[in-house]
Amino acid sequence: MYQSNPGSQHRVKFDFRVDFTNGGYVEGRDFLLDLDGSTVEDERLKDMIVSALNLLRAGPVTIHRKEVVRRGAHQDG
């Protein structure tokens, strides 16, 4: 389960696509999630995406790009 952590030192910035088991999909670009450490494995990130967005009927998750950034060292908008 994913929980945001405003005190984290690192965040992961990524592009993704989640396909739903009942059809359709959702995509995101330059999405940011807080990390507990300075790395994240793809499988963990996929679980974090589904949990953070509370996606029901989530099927395959594809990570198109992933970059770990220090909090404050990226542009939010």
Q: Which residue has the higher pLDDT, 73 or 1?
A: 1
Whether the pLDDT of residue 74 is over 70: the answer is: no
User: How far is it, in rounded angstroms, from Cα 67 to Cα 10?
Assistant: 10
High-pLDDT (> 90) share of the chain, %:
90
Report pTM.
0.90
| In the block, residue with structure tokens 């910035």 | 13
The domains of the chain are located at 10-70
